[in-house]
Amino acid sequence: MIRSPNVVRQREAVSRPRRETLNGHMSVNLWFTGLSGSGKSTVAHAVEERLHLMGCRTYVFDGDNVRHGLCGDLGFSLEDRSENLRRIAEMIKLFLDGGVLSLSAFISPIEKDREMVKEIIGADNLIEIYCNCPLEICEQRDVKGLYKKARAGEIKNYTGISSPYEAPKNPDITLLSGYQSLQECVKIVIGELRERGIILK
């Protein structure tokens, strides 16, 4: 619900298609979802590096990073997670309009919240990428030591332990990120972008 009174949407002089033409590629969002430790951020940043080297204009929205600023006032309840994603989706809309190829790495555990994101961004503007990694492998990685704390009851509402994760039913891409190499994952994502005509190189 919009609660800001007396606001009028301004018409832009420079349109999204013009920005895309200048950039030499289409703008789209790559939405990486999966458990903590499934490789979302690692793959997203590796894909961005590849795209950057190809001359694409890119930006990664990382789940941890946005909670240091834009979403720093939110916790990890299901309600706060939903609001976190709503804010990010609205931000992504602006980047899409700017002609930027954006990548988002968020656990985004609840199906209805991912559907909300698609509704805000537009399904045609989003490629859903499921980093399908078994919980036991995610726990073995446990780079931040958070699974250990969650198992000890020190962290509440931890996805996969004390809070649910609803796997995507029909993702655009499924990466077996517990078994496929980082290079394989990047190749699959770049291949999808080429096949869709998002990038031409």
- Reduced DSSP (H G I as helix, E B as strand, rest coil) percent helix, strand, coil of the chain, to 5: 45, 15, 45
Nearest-angstrom CA–CA distance, 117 and 52? 25
What's residue 65's pLDDT?
74
Nearest-angstrom CA–CA distance, 75 and 57? 31
Nearest-angstrom CA–CA distance, 199 and 50? 12
Write the DSSP string, 136-172. HHHHHH-TTSHHHHHHTTSSSS-BTTTB-----SS-S
What's residue 6's pLDDT?
55
What is the average pLDDT across 98-122? 94
| Lowest-pLDDT range of 48-57, 102-111, 140-149, 165-174 | 140-149
What's residue 116's pLDDT?
95
The yes-or-no answer on residue 27 being catalytic is no
Nearest-angstrom CA–CA distance, 186 and 188? 5
What is the average pLDDT across 93-109? 94
Name the more confident of 174 and 75.
174
The predicted model scores a pTM of 0.89
Q: Which of 108, 162, 163, 181 is catalytic?
A: 108
Mean pLDDT of the chain: 89
DSSP H or E segment with residue 16 = helix 16-23
List of domains in the chain: 24-195 (3.40.50.300)
What is the average pLDDT across 60-76? 73
26-58 pLDDT, tens digit per residue, is: 999 999 999 999 999 999 999 999 999 999 999
